[in-house]
Amino acid sequence: MSLDNDLKQRCADQCELCNAEAALATYHLPNSDGQDDRLALCAICTEQAGAPTDVNHLRCLTTSVWSTTPAAQVLSYRLLHELRSETWAQEQLDMAYLEDDIRAWAEAGITTADEHAVVHKDSNGAILAAGDTVTIIKDLNVKGTSFVAKRGTAVRGISLTDNPAHIEGRVNGTRIVILTEFVKKSG
């Protein structure tokens, strides 16, 4: 998408993140909430805005987060947040100052860990939490052992795993992985 006159004048034919004098295109920020969400970005920055992978190119964010253009501040803040595992990005986030309304706009486009959290559900669809007690609903042969986890066995103080189909608990004194489809939440 080509740039309109206002955007061309504002950016002075330079990418609003990295200042490259390459071919520019209009980029619209998601979750703009009625703000002017337009930015003039080069092809590399447009690609990185979708999924930041070129950490070296994105070091330009240390400058662009201080831009006078709110949309540039917002996109810079969001990308720095995505790259916060990099020391320089976290340091920049810690130093960055955004007006309250700009910070709210920036944070509105950040996905939180809770949105990506693994949810464990029992055979009836009840949500399981660490420490819950569950009851085994089917006799289960426990791999690597010679015993069977009998139906009706209560497993207290379960632990959750990264896999939503697995929980961990103690049966007959042995810590085992149990499929959530074979348990129901007690109590």
Question: pLDDT tens for residues 68-118?
Answer: 999 999 999 999 998 988 899 999 998 999 999 888 888 887 765 444 567
How far apart are alpha carbons 102 and 100 in whole angstroms? Answer: 5
Q: What is the pLDDT of residues 129-180, one digit of tens each?
A: 988 999 999 999 988 888 899 999 999 999 988 888 999 999 988 899 999 9
Q: What is the pLDDT of residues 105-135, one digit of tens each?
A: 888 877 654 445 678 899 998 989 988 999 9
Q: Which of 59, 66, 163 is nearest to 118 (CA)?
A: 163
How far apart are alpha carbons 62 and 67 in whole angstroms? Answer: 10
How far apart are alpha carbons 143 and 177 in whole angstroms? Answer: 9
Q: Which of 50, 113, 61, 122 is nearest to 86 (CA)?
A: 61
How far apart are alpha carbons 159 and 94 in whole angstroms? Answer: 34
